[in-house]
Structure 1
Amino acid sequence: MNAVAHNAQSVINAAGSTLEFLSFTLGKEEYGISIQKVQELRGYDTVTRIANAPEFIKGVVNLRGIIVPIIDMRIKFKLGTPSYDQFTVVVILHLENHVVGMVVDSVSDVITLTPEQIKPPPEMNSALATDYLLGLGTVDERMLILIDIEKLMSGADMGLAERSPA
């Protein structure tokens, strides 16, 4: 078992008997993040662009006095040109060091998984960064790509690592 799979398994095992994930779609794939990191869900609204920000940072919004960066995950994961419609959702995340908004195509539901339903992520070559993957969750015929959103959002390429607490 590689270090990523071992770390993901320790997160899953520490959770006890079940884990709850908010499921959402990006393109044709379904993803899941820990429901404990979700602060609220909002429709997509206009954002204030920040000059020289990476393309995936759509801008910022003022959320009840807190300036929140908005990350479009479709651009971040290179899933084609995003379109914004009535199904587009901004998931407001409360992470350890900051609050951030994540744009996704749609939100499905909250899924409860047992550790047995979560398989370790496949081993990939080093060209593909997978250190933010917890694993793959299976529910009936559905497969969720489970993301450690804290790790993903605090990655050096996100530009959010040094933010002060909100």
Structure 2
Amino acid sequence: MTGSAFSLGEEVELRKVEYKLHGELWKKFTCADFDLKFENWIKIKYLNENADDFDGGVLDVPNDKGGLYMFYVKCNIISGITEYPLYVGRAQITENQNLRKRVKEYFQKYSKNNERPKLTRMFNYWKNDLHLAYFPLDDNEDVISIENQFINSLLLPMNTEIPDTEVKQAIKAFQ
């Protein structure tokens, strides 16, 4: 930032994200078999201090499990209330995919190119404060089902594909 009000305003505007807070969609989320409270997720800083490589905690992400993961921005001004979820995704456990491999792909593939512009934006603007939370799961069907419900219920700003047709059409109608 150069110090002018205009430059600061421009920087702030570029970092604006939209959240859709809709209680009725939240009520549709049903995963009684899993305690998905955020306190039960494993949370790590995603990138190192220079934001040019992974933080050491990424090596602890399981490579023998699938599961859910969420990128979020963490601001330490008011700890515990200034954590902003940006993106939720899934990793199935297959011969070619696991939780660690999948979360590493984001920085390796999307941080510097424009293949998925919202993810590139996530890295450009929040890489120093980007954290990862993950929830290991063993069953691929559970992984898919819960991720779909998360996306349909939370409508996070960096998720572009909404699985539910009705929700997708409703969002598109008002964009």
| Structure-2-length-normalised TM-score | 0.26
> TM-score under structure 1 normalisation?
0.26
- Structure of higher CA gyration radius: 2
